[in-house]
Amino acid sequence: MAERLHARRARSNIPVTMGADELPATLRAALVGAIGERNLLTDPDLKASYEIDWTRRFHGRAAAVVRPATTAEVAAILRACSAAGRAVVPQGGNTGLVGGGVPRDGEVVLSTTRLTGPCSVDAAAGEIVVPAGTTLHQVQEAARDAGFDFGVDIGPRESCTIGGMIAANAGGVHVLRYGMMSEQLIGVEAVLADGSVIGRVPGLRKDNAGYHLAALLAGSEGTLGVVTRAHLRLTPAMPERAVALLGLDDVEAAVAVMRQVRPALPSLAALELILAEALDLVCRYAGVAAPLRGAHPVVLLIECAGQTSPREELLAALESAGGLVRESVAADDAAGVRRLWRYRDAAGEAINAAGVPHKLDVAVPLAAVPEFVARVRAAVAAAAPEARVAIWGHVGDGNLHVNILGLAPGDAPIDHDVLRLAVELGGTIAAEHGVGTQKTADLPLARSAGDLAAMRAIKAALDPRGILNPGVVVMR
Amino acid sequence: MAERLHARRARSNIPVTMGADELPATLRAALVGAIGERNLLTDPDLKASYEIDWTRRFHGRAAAVVRPATTAEVAAILRACSAAGRAVVPQGGNTGLVGGGVPRDGEVVLSTTRLTGPCSVDAAAGEIVVPAGTTLHQVQEAARDAGFDFGVDIGPRESCTIGGMIAANAGGVHVLRYGMMSEQLIGVEAVLADGSVIGRVPGLRKDNAGYHLAALLAGSEGTLGVVTRAHLRLTPAMPERAVALLGLDDVEAAVAVMRQVRPALPSLAALELILAEALDLVCRYAGVAAPLRGAHPVVLLIECAGQTSPREELLAALESAGGLVRESVAADDAAGVRRLWRYRDAAGEAINAAGVPHKLDVAVPLAAVPEFVARVRAAVAAAAPEARVAIWGHVGDGNLHVNILGLAPGDAPIDHDVLRLAVELGGTIAAEHGVGTQKTADLPLARSAGDLAAMRAIKAALDPRGILNPGVVVMR
């Protein structure tokens, strides 16, 4: 399949432009015609916030930022950029962590944050239709007003957009109960590189009329199309919550406790791991005391949620795991639940405040989690003795976030060592944050030659000039 | 995108062969080399059962039937057929209903029923790995032996294979609780037309390392690849069941009852509609009395399932809908549950025994179900007064199976009228049975020009010579 792809690329007679200092006059005129002067940003000050990511690790220069407000405007922009062979970087709330949503060198950034409008809830069906620029928080509010909730929750909920969450196939703290973003999709509308509009909103929960393009877009990171609208399933409201933090001796104990309590907790909503270094960063950052009296190497957060209080169920399950739990604290009132979650939620902000971290998001089979943690620590200690490793994550899914602080610019090879280790233990190099520009070169670790060739063929089929997010996911 | 596709097809210098009476000697030799004489069937008697579907409506001639036992054998067959430009029809348990798994004219049928071997259950994770030729019943037994169940259940469970169920994205009676086949997939291994192997088994529940090829294969009906192995999630065992059949005056009442009881039934596992004509067919076929004393135009089946008995929950919910229910019967013992389900389960066999039905599987929004039923009946009465319409289906998903008996061979236009009506009411022409050869020409009713072009582009990218199931899903 590789040969076909090369043949096709060679026939493309308009090279994709990156690195040019200015937009050519014809492209500029077409973009102004599509969205007006006002929504074509070329002033460096106005472009600046679109050119750097939240961690400050990934940044580049955009030739322009375009801010469409409708599907038709997105289509007109992509037609114009296709005709000019100009690379486009789609960007939602710019909360990505793998460099997939910021420009590298002279692309047009297509910001979807103006694709907004009413959130339309169908309360009888438990579904919602929203434009792609709607934030997660807005969806949560609309859902809660109608007596529902939304199945995916991630930290930057005030900023991240539904379109970006679909493109990234966002995960978060409730995947073990409700699945990832792809599992919330009833219908998706998107614009392909040539400006054609695909998908269906509203969609249907059961629809086998042809290929499931929405399922392919989920996790494609803006390389196959730009999501413009979505039809999502809502979940039943679970207003009653109970949270416990358990102090444990080691990661083995966390895995053992999880295996023990999980079958006894139908109301389980989250299982999060916080290793001591991460907890320490949070306490310093937030200026709060540690949640437990003792200094435990490992803290496991367990959340249960239901329509009636899951408190008794949680306490009974913890009792059954008693021998492994050195100390615990629990809450089932709103303020207490918020306070305990803060030790996990603030980890991202805390580490960003302490420096510019290398952030690696991997998943391994549950049984391999202890070995993975031990070997990551050893590898970093050997390669960069001054570096600090802070690990937390959605351990219920085998998903860990490895954060490394204090690396010198030349220390990037440690990233690859960590990813290689995850694969060696039966895991993946990208669990929920995606591939972005960060891991594109590492993708052959996780995907076979057949997979990579099929991905390149699909990319070439839907974006033959390669204008959509070049350098992300698919290697040229 | 259409132009690109044509350009690519024109460059293919080996036309796909159909309609030839014999395999060319080189292809025959290559196939024998791949799987041995014994598993290359060319004797008409041996081929016969692979050449006609279960309803006897769809049939054709196969040049040969090949029966590989391993992924490597599937790859060798597809490489040989690609080289010879010979069309291949993948076939699982041959329980499809839309003509997507039987030959049309001279293709090679690739039967996956010998892709068998141990079912490997991971009880700690609640997951199973199986070869694609494993039947649904075998998966259910392996799951139940380990204290779990499988989320998808369909009537022909003794015959249908996991590979075929993935290719068809099978639905069935529990979709409202556990989702369709695509939602059970953790990893899928498949072979593309050129013999390359894609996918990963075992997979990971959270894996965003590149495009989700498994999600694209689900529902692609053997046109993009041949599934060879699968890693599936299991569901918690729900041994306690309660079922009720409700006699109602009309379809409006069924929709009203569903809206009323659904929020009060967290243990809901199935919501099935059986209209009087279908119930009558079942009673005659099975030689049993009707389940209710009165002759009601509409019967609604409600099933609840849990780890503890859902009987009280079901009865309380029914009480709340009392004004609409003319008569009801319920059971929560195994024999009684089986007996009540039989009135729904036997509908397919019953109608096949009565003739060769036209079977149409559609979904419409719940609110449109009553209008759809009324207008289908009126349309059939007007177009073919002697025909009989029997309707049943997974009404909890808005999914209805329209079965028309007694149509003359020239009456196929009524099929298109029914599909057009579903789309007019906001629905789809294929809810869970797929497109097959039956509905390929109707696909433009349900999918936009942009979608169809994208589907053709993906098909051409992964199967550039078009050897995999030509005529199914994607129009040439």
A353-369 per-position pLDDT tens digit: 999 889 999 999 999 99
B122-150: average pLDDT? 96
Which H or E run contains A91?
Answer: strand A88-91
B136-160: average pLDDT? 96
**Secondary structure (3-state) at A445:** helix
More confident residue, A124 or A27: A27
Across the interface, which of A431, A455, A458 has its CB nearest the CB of B206?
Answer: A431
CB contact under 8 A, A464 and B209: no
C-alpha distance from residue A21 to each of A64, A106, A307, B307 (Å):
10, 7, 57, 65
Chain B CB contacts of A461 under 8 Å are 457-458, 460-461
Task: Indicate which of A5, A185, A206 best probes the interface with B, i.e. most B CBs within 10 Å of its own CB.
Answer: A206
Across the interface, which of B366, B461, B474 has its CB nearest the CB of A458?
Answer: B461
C-alpha distance from residue B253 to each of B18, B256, B293 (Å):
51, 5, 19
Task: Answer whether B181's CB lies under 8 Å from A174's CB.
Answer: no
Residue B220 pLDDT > 70: yes
Burial class (CB in 10 A: 0-12, 13-18, 19+), A408: exposed
Task: Find the residue in B nearest to A260 (Cα).
Answer: B124
What is the reported pLDDT for A47?
97
B249-266: average pLDDT? 93
Measured from the Cβ of residue A425, the count of other Cβ atoms closer than 10 Å reads: 17
**Secondary structure (3-state) at A410:** helix
What is the reported pLDDT for A457?
98
Task: Answer whether A88's CB lies under 8 Å from A195's CB.
Answer: no
CB contact under 8 A, A207 and B428: yes
Chain B CB contacts of A419 under 8 Å are none
What is the reported pLDDT for A201?
97
Residue B103 pLDDT > 70: yes
Residue B96 pLDDT > 90: yes
A208 Cα to chain B: minimum distance (Å): 5
Q: What is the pLDDT of residues B319-372, one digit of tens each?
A: 988 899 999 999 999 999 999 999 999 999 999 999 988 999 999 999 999 999
**ipTM at complex level:** 0.93
Q: How confident is the model at residue A398 (pLDDT cuts 50, 70, 90)?
A: very high
CA distance A348 to A152: 18
- Where does A342-451 show beta strands of DSSP type E? 358-363, 388-393, 399-405
CB contact under 8 A, B473 and A211: yes
A443 Cα to chain B: minimum distance (Å): 7
Measured from the Cβ of residue B57, the count of other Cβ atoms closer than 10 Å reads: 17
High-pLDDT (> 90) share of chain A, %: 88
Across the interface, which of A4, A435, A447 has its CB nearest the CB of B464?
Answer: A4
What is the reported pLDDT for A13?
44
CB contact under 8 A, A182 and B215: yes
Task: Answer whether A406's CB lies under 8 Å from A355's CB.
Answer: yes
Q: What tokens were used for A394?
A: 């959605």
Amino acid at B167: A
- Where does B117-168 show beta strands of DSSP type E? 120-122, 127-131, 148-149
Chain A CB contacts of B397 under 8 Å are 205-206
Chain B CB contacts of A209 under 8 Å are 428-430, 435, 439, 443, 446-447
CB contact under 8 A, B219 and A206: no
Q: How confident is the model at residue B21 (pLDDT cuts 50, 70, 90)?
A: low
How do A105-111 and A61-66 pair as beta strands? Answer: parallel
Chain B CB contacts of A451 under 8 Å are 198-200, 210, 213
Task: Find the residue in B nearest to A185 (Cα).
Answer: B183
| DSSP per residue, A182-211 | GGGEEEEEEE-TTS-EEE-SS--SS--SS-
Q: What angle do CA A152, A155, A156 make, to 5 degrees?
A: 105
Nearest to B131 by CA among B92, B180, B172: B92
CB contact under 8 A, B208 and A427: no
What is the reported pLDDT for A168?
98
Q: How many CB pairs under 8 A join A and B?
A: 229
What is the reported pLDDT for B18?
59
Chain B CB contacts of A185 under 8 Å are none
Q: What tokens were used for B140?
A: 């259910």
CB contact under 8 A, B439 and A209: yes
CB contact under 8 A, B220 and A198: no
What is the reported pLDDT for A20?
54
Residue B10 pLDDT > 50: no
Amino acid at B468: L
Chain A CB contacts of B454 under 8 Å are 192, 196, 198, 211, 213, 462
What is the reported pLDDT for A55?
81
Amino acid at B158: E
Chain B CB contacts of A434 under 8 Å are 208
CA distance A250 to A275: 9
Across the interface, which of B194, B266, B454 has its CB nearest the CB of A213?
Answer: B454
| DSSP per residue, B195-228 | S-EEE-SS--SS--SS--HHHHHTTSTTSS-EEE
Across the interface, which of A175, A206, A462 has its CB nearest the CB of B457?
Answer: A462
B35 Cα to chain A: minimum distance (Å): 23
Q: What is the pLDDT of residues A27-57, one digit of tens each?
A: 999 999 999 999 999 999 999 999 999 888 8
* Mean confidence (pLDDT) of chain A: 93
Upper half-sphere CA count for residue A424 (Cβ side, 13 Å): 10
Task: Find the residue in A nearest to B188 (Cα).
Answer: A451
Unique residue bearing structure tokens 């070995």: A371
Chain B CB contacts of A129 under 8 Å are none
Q: How confident is the model at residue A1 (pLDDT cuts 50, 70, 90)?
A: very low
Task: Answer whether B414's CB lies under 8 Å from B407's CB.
Answer: yes
Q: What is the pLDDT of residues A152-166, one digit of tens each?
A: 999 999 999 999 999
Give CA A40 to chain center in angstroms. Answer: 27
Range in A4-8, A359-363, B373-377, B472-476 with the lowest mean pLDDT: A4-8
